[in-house]
Amino acid sequence: MVGSQQPASATLLFYEGFAEGDYAEGVIDGQSFVGAGYAAGGAWNTTSTFETGGLGVPNLGMTDGFRLSRSNGEVVGTFDLTPTGSFGAAGLIGTNGLIGGTGFTGAIYFSILGNRNDTQDASFAGFNIYNGGDEGMGIGEVAGSDYSWLQGGSNGAIGTPGTPLAAGETRLFVIRLNYDAANPLTAQIWLDPDPLAAEVDQDVEISTIVNNAKPVDGFDSFKLRGTRIWEFDELRIGTTWEDVLPPLNSAPFMITEVSYDPADDLVTLTWNSKPNDTYTIKFSLDMTNWDADIEDGVAADPGDTTTVSFDLKLTPSIVDAEAVFFRVERNPG
């Protein structure tokens, strides 16, 4: 099996875009997690469906692939908590083994696209982070509301309702969690920020203390709830605004196409690139050890993508491997 770890960004810690090449259209139950940042071996376990036509908003340009839709249950994704995973390597794992856990100080950013595809009421709909079965934070809609979005959690305070959301409109949500061991966890929430503007130039939609009564101890998973009436797409987690909000004119740094010719043992990779940059192609046999590389000075092609082909037979450690994974890193400078 030849695969890719996507995206290739060093600071975009988690990405799920429900790409058509990663998943099959229809019921998602039993389909393995493919996006970057998941715990190894995980799979979807709900009757939600992947439907053709990804969500998009102006200047974000993310409309390819599937969108997650149609379920009365909860869609659960579990994160990679290993020391060598994306969250561990970035120093976001606390001493209690959770993302944003004990001892962690700093900011974690989330972004997600949501579209209310129905006008009927629901018990709850939204994006939530969890520690096991314990809800740490939710950005969502409550029953009986005017379809506003708010922040809260089962352990503490609920924030101020946001702007009412009409059915049939795709909205962009960006959340920043601010961790400080000496103070309660705080959150900032942006609704439909301008993807072309910097964080300092955005208006804050909601800024309030989350779970003041019981500070969040960290999280290990997320839930997308109420997908019977809400659709979701493009979930990103990073440590900066730019990580989770790449504008249309700055496509996310990721492998976009992988092909394998078994007759010649030839692999071809294509990724988003910038002129004059150089890249290193690394490989792994277990998605844990990324110390080995195929080539370390690949010059970008003209335009906004680069394509490189290489013969696996020239790398002895790959020849007899049952599976091999590739990652592209942008070289400093």
For residue 40, what is the DSSP state? T
Residue 230 lies in a domain: yes
- Those residues whose C-beta lies under 8 Å from the C-beta of residue 237, and which sit 6 or more positions away, are 12, 13, 14, 15, 37, 108, 109, 110, 243, 244
The reply to whether 158 and 106 lie within a common domain is yes
The reply to whether 133 and 263 lie within a common domain is no
Residue 22 lies in a domain: yes
Last residue of a domain, one of 192, 211, 244: 244
The reply to whether 45 and 184 lie within a common domain is yes
What's the pLDDT score for residue 251? 59
Residue 165 lies in a domain: yes
Last residue of a domain, one of 244, 266, 300: 244
| Strand partners of residue 299 | 278
**What is the count of structural domains for the chain?**
2
What's the pLDDT score for residue 7? 37
What's the pLDDT score for residue 215? 43
The reply to whether 165 and 199 lie within a common domain is yes
Contact indicator for 18, 232 with CB cutoff of 8 Å? no
Residue 250 lies in a domain: no
> At 96, which CATH number?
2.60.120.200
The reply to whether 261 and 239 lie within a common domain is no
The reply to whether 228 and 271 lie within a common domain is no
Q: Is the pLDDT of residue 303 over 70?
A: yes
Give the tens place of pLDDT for each residue, 8-48. 333 678 988 887 778 888 888 888 888 788 998 888 887 78
The reply to whether 272 and 165 lie within a common domain is no
The reply to whether 267 and 317 lie within a common domain is yes
Q: How far apart are CA 31 and CA 22, in angstroms?
A: 9
Instruction: Name which of 240, 237, 239 is nearest 222 in CA terms.
Output: 237
Contact indicator for 92, 79 with CB cutoff of 8 Å? no
Q: Is the pLDDT of residue 207 over 60?
A: no
What's the pLDDT score for residue 146? 45
The reply to whether 270 and 163 lie within a common domain is no
What are 309's two structure tokens? 């082909």
Residue 110 lies in a domain: yes
Instruction: Name which of 107, 75, 82, 13 is nearest 233 in CA terms.
Output: 75
Last residue of a domain, one of 244, 276, 294: 244
Q: How far apart are CA 21 and CA 77, in angstroms?
A: 19
Residue 204 lies in a domain: yes
The reply to whether 75 and 224 lie within a common domain is yes
* Chain-centroid distance, C-alpha 163: 24
What are 176's two structure tokens? 């920043």
Instruction: Name which of 283, 195, 184, 180 is nearest 236 in CA terms.
Output: 195
Residue 249 lies in a domain: no
* SS3 per residue for 135-189: EEEEEEEECCCCCCCEEECCCCCCCCCCCCCCCCCEEEEEEEEEEECCEEEEEEE
Domain range for residue 76? Answer: 2-244
The reply to whether 149 and 290 lie within a common domain is no
Residue 57 lies in a domain: yes
What would the mean pLDDT of 232-249 be, rounded to a whole number? 80
The reply to whether 214 and 259 lie within a common domain is no
Give the tens place of pLDDT for each residue, 60-114. 655 567 888 765 567 888 999 999 888 998 899 999 999 998 889 999 999 988 8
* SS3 per residue for 217-235: CCECEEEEECCCCEEEEEE
